[in-house]
Amino acid sequence: MDKKTRVKNAFDKKPVDHAPVGFWIHFFDKMDDEEAMVKAHIDYHSALDFDIAKLMSDGLFAFPLDGLEIKTPSDLLKIRPIEANHPWIRAQVKRIQTIKGILGGDKFYLFNLFAPFTSLKLNMPDEQIMQYARENKAELRYALDVVARGGALLGEKLICEAGCDGVYFAVQSGEYTRFTEAEYADLLTPGELFVLEHCNRYSGYNIMHCCGFYDNKNRMSLWRDYPAKCLNWATAVEELSLSEGRYFFGNKAVMGGFDTHWGMDSTEEQRGILYHGSKEELQAYTRELILNTGKLGTIIGGDCTVDHRIDIERLKWIVEAVRSM
């Protein structure tokens, strides 16, 4: 079975020869050099026999404000929609086309796409946007609507023009300490559904990632009914295993199983078997994960991004164990 068929079968909960597998990392040290960014992707995915190539939007995270600085609530009303020819969209399409042109088309390609609130808040301090969420809801709703339309357009171009098989739609800000369920549904849910439903028009193979950012536990019920074909979340942070989460999300395909998180202090020693287990322990964990979750509708991967300092031999051990099942 070829890799792309294997992944699509997993999404569709059809039989597979082996569970698909894929892990991804950020290339933060290459964000100011597009040529180096492309090379880093190619080197990483060429060295690893993954079924999924998740390509990263490093250096292009934030929605482009084209020189506008958000200093007051009224500045939110100055954010303007972007078109398909905007450099922010063109750069991401070109990145994918270049990488895919060299790696080839046998893998299943995903590209990172942030939810509107995340894409907007990356342009300002967290406390600033949260103040607007409490005190300037009308202005923030306008801004999020503009950003959602831009994100939806980006997703469309990633799939239809760049040739991605789907998007990896990352939702954040569902922490218990940030919004109540009603506040989240009022401010964030409409834009998130707009982007995801728009991407679903162009691909039936989109993943939603529920980000356990810096080990923050989320109100997972916020995203329970979102129309994603496959779900990925922080199993350790949320205390929700792959097998439990499959049914929490309505018996959908699931991706993950490995705790990839590390602390906010970048010098903190990474935790978990992914970073510390021996080859025997890591492969035994992989096989047990597949036995517990089943191969049907299961994709083996990380809860989130793997620390770039990892020895990739460890990832090869996981692939070897997956292929043995």
Per residue in 96-137, pLDDT (tens digit) is 999 999 999 899 999 999 999 999 999 999 999 999 999 999
pLDDT band at 266 (very low <50, low <70, confident <90, very high): very low
d(CA 69, CA 73): 11
- Asked if residue 118 lies in contact with residue 172, where contact means CB atoms within 8 angstroms, the answer is yes
pLDDT band at 160 (very low <50, low <70, confident <90, very high): very high
d(CA 266, CA 285): 26
Q: Which residue from 283, 306, 304 is spatially nearest to 236, judged by alpha carbons?
A: 304
**CA separation (Å) from 235 to 199, 211, 216?**
25, 10, 12
3-state secondary structure of 268: coil
* Mean pLDDT along residues 260-285: 78
Helices 313-323 and 279-293 cross at an angle (nearest 10°) of 40
pLDDT band at 141 (very low <50, low <70, confident <90, very high): very high
**CA separation (Å) from 14 to 58, 267, 296, 302?**
33, 42, 6, 22
d(CA 1, CA 83): 39
Structure confidence by residue, pLDDT tens digits, 22-72? 999 999 999 999 999 999 999 999 999 999 999 999 999 999 999 999 999
Task: Give me the half-sphere count of Cα atoms (radius 13 Å) on the Cβ side of residue 18.
Answer: 21
pTM for the model stands at 0.95
CATH number of 3-323: 3.20.20.210
C-alpha angle with apex 161: 156 to 163, nearest 5 degrees? Answer: 95
The total of other beta-carbon atoms located within 10 Å of residue 226's CB is: 17
Query: What pLDDT score does 270 carry?
Result: 57
What residues contact 187, with CB distance under 8 A and at least 6 apart?
Answer: 117, 133, 137, 140, 141, 144, 179
Sorted by where each begins, the domain ranges of the chain are: 3-323
Query: What pLDDT score does 298 carry?
Result: 98
